[in-house]
Structure 1
């Protein structure tokens, strides 16, 4: 137990001598800085630079927020457009599957080759018409998606050019 007591006493005396040395440091002349006044012109330039930096930061921040909003809008538009196209494709697949099922059901009930050929011709014509309509619907949805995606970008560039012309 006496050993532990002497160690504690030594560490206390060591820390007190360290604090005395650090207290003496500020009085040491090699580390003291000469007192000098900054000229008013330098202060004005520094303040002006700081003000310009803040303005530039605000403009950059505003532009970044607008770009982020535009990207978020584009992602949402893309998501909705792709969902619409997928829904249209699923409806087309269902309609084509139902038509094929009905055709095969009818083919099992034919009594002659001429009736089968007539049924096949009618089915092919109706499927061609359905495919034409489905392709037109998909094209309209794709065109709408492309237009909707281009609109925010077009608006952003128009605003940017307007801001450039104003400056």
Structure 2
């Protein structure tokens, strides 16, 4: 008779590599050589783009310099024009106060009318002279302001 012995079964635990399960399969990347003509074409394109950028940057710097000069001239001219306006207003105010002082000292109505008429004639001539002076100054400022732009445009036209 055979006796049966009891054997215990213990399963074997096999460690699994889970990292390997989720990795992308490794494919061999084909090597490809860039044709020399294409490489030369790309290098020329890059050189042309760099050259174009350098020219554009130089032109932008020149334009900025021209605008700075123009702005400087315009702001100085406007300040001078403002001072001329103040000077004109002061002269007109002083003339009006002088008239008032003379009118207060008028002895008769005919003196009053004579002083007023002389003042009006004098102020009319003064206003014409002041308007002419202010107009000439404004024209001078405009001409001086436009000069750097004209010079820059002339240089640009010659270069083109």
How far apart in 1 are the matches of 2:159 and 2:145? 22
Bigger Cα displacement from structure 2, 117-126 vs 101-110: 117-126
Structural RMSD (CA): 1.8
Q: Which residue of 2 aligns with 1:107?
A: 103
Q: Which of 36, 43, 47 pairs up with 1:47?
A: 43
Trace 1:88-167 onto structure 2 (pairs within 5 A). 88-164=84-160
2:52 counterpart (41, 56, 60)? 56
Q: In structure 2, what is the equivalent of residue 74 of structure 1?
A: 70
SS at match of 2:31: coil
Q: Whole-Å Cα distance in 1 between the matches of residues 151 and 21 of structure 2?
A: 67
Higher helix proportion (structure 1 or 2): 1
Deviations 1:24-56 (A, max 9, x none): 65x711xx5311111111111111111100110
Shift of 1:133: 1.6
Q: Give structure 1 stretches of 5+ with no counterpart.
A: 1-16
The normalised TM-score by structure 2 is 0.82
* Larger relative contact order, structure 1 or 2 (CA cutoff 8 Å, min sep 6): 2
Correspondence 1:28 to 2:30: no
**Would the alpha carbon gap of residues 144 and 33 (structure 1) be closer, same or farther in structure 2, given more than 3 Å must change?**
farther
Counterpart-to-counterpart distance in 2, 1:53 and 1:160: 21
Are residue 86 (structure 1) and residue 82 (structure 2) matched?
Answer: yes
Structure 1 residue ranges, 4+ long, deviating more than 6 angstroms after superposition = none
Q: Which runs of 5+ in 2 are unaligned?
A: 1-17
Change (3 A) 1:90 1:154: same
Find the structure with the greater CA-based Rg: 2
Count of aligned residue pairs for this structure pair = 143
